[in-house]
Chain A
Amino acid sequence: MALDQSFVGRSYPPTTPYEVGREKIREFAEAVGDANPVYTDTEAAKALGHPEVIAPPTFVFAITFKAAGQVIADPQLGLDYSRVVHGDQKFAYSRPVRAGDRLSVTSTIEAIKSLAGNDILDIRGEVHDEAGEHVVTAWTKLVARAAEEA
């Protein structure tokens, strides 16, 4: 069944701040095989003008996707998560995520479409630091594939 269009524009309360740990950044950089020292070495980060080690560009997805869980699990929306695949992902950065950041995410449903029985959900996550400054916006498109005919 198609999702309720009245959810378009709905925003969810900001998440409890996530504190970005330098060892978590290291773990992520190692997991993607990226040896750039700006992720692990404070001096290398400072040499590029950063006050602290920074996170790889896609690191923040772990935080925004967890925040999108509020939308995904909203019983009123009724998304069938067992049939969901990740369609598109985009980020726009005001600055990189840094070790020590305390980031909160405000998720908004930007669009709901129904296409050939698939439900397509666009969620925007606005990520702000503790000072309220914008860090990055993440757009996530989720596609709930049509259930097979019984």
Chain B
Amino acid sequence: MTAKIAFDEVEVGTELPAQSFPVTRATLVRYAGASGDFNPIHWNERFAREVGLPDVIAHGMFTMASAVRVVTDWVGDPAAVVEYGVRFTKPVIVPDDEQGALIEVSAKVAAKLDDGRVRVDLTATSAGQKVLGMSRAVVQLA
């Protein structure tokens, strides 16, 4: 495990580089195949509407996987993430066009813990709505 960020270099409030992740219908089809989650609410608009959704929505686990990239890209070694949890507060609605949706993620160091670990709090929004709540990662720094 080789984090490229040193514990002594960060302070509470240190912001990680924010990132935006585009997601189209094609992204969802690909993620369904890779993850084995073939729930039709993630690729079939007719089905999604029948169960009361406004349109096809992204897999929550896709959003969770995207958001943590802000942390793993920052720290270098993804194995430095020792805990990661989220609450799925709102769905990411993915229109059937070339743009699809955008998941915008920012993060900052919220607490310095024992043994060179920090807690990073993440914020993920799409179309102005917060899509993840209580989104936190504990990261082992160098």
- A56 proximity list for chain B (CB < 8 A): 65, 68, 72, 78
Partner of B82 from the list A32, A87, A92 (CB cut-off 8 Å) is A92
- B31 pairs with A31, CB closer than 8 A: yes
Q: How many residues of A contact B (CB 8 A)?
A: 35
- A86 pairs with B76, CB closer than 8 A: no
Q: Chain B's nearest CB lies how many Å from the CB of A141?
A: 8
- A89 pairs with B36, CB closer than 8 A: no
- B60 pairs with A89, CB closer than 8 A: yes
B79 closest partner in A (C-beta): A96
Q: Chain B's nearest CB lies how many Å from the CB of A125?
A: 14
Interface range on chain B (Cβ under 8 Å from partner): 20 to 34
> In the assembly, what is the distance between CA of A50 and CA of B60, in Å?
29
Let me know if A65 is at the binding interface, CB within 8 A. yes
- A57 proximity list for chain B (CB < 8 A): 65, 68, 72, 78, 81, 84
- A39 proximity list for chain B (CB < 8 A): 78
> In the assembly, what is the distance between CA of A56 and CA of B60, in Å?
15
- B21 proximity list for chain A (CB < 8 A): 33
- A48 pairs with B79, CB closer than 8 A: yes
Chain A residues touching B, majority SS: mixed
> In the assembly, what is the distance between CA of A65 and CA of B38, in Å?
13
Q: Chain B's nearest CB lies how many Å from the CB of A46?
A: 11
Interface residues of B (CB under 8 A from A): 1-2, 21, 27, 30-31, 33-37, 60-62, 64-66, 68-69, 72-73, 76-79, 81-88, 134
Interface residues of A (CB under 8 A from B): 24, 27-28, 30-34, 36, 38-39, 47-50, 54, 56-58, 61-62, 65-66, 85-93, 95-96, 139
Provide a sorted-by-A list of 16 A–B residue pairs whose CB atoms are within 8 angstroms.
A31-B35, A32-B62, A49-B77, A50-B79, A56-B78, A57-B65, A57-B81, A58-B65, A88-B87, A89-B60, A89-B88, A90-B86, A92-B82, A95-B79, A96-B79, A139-B85
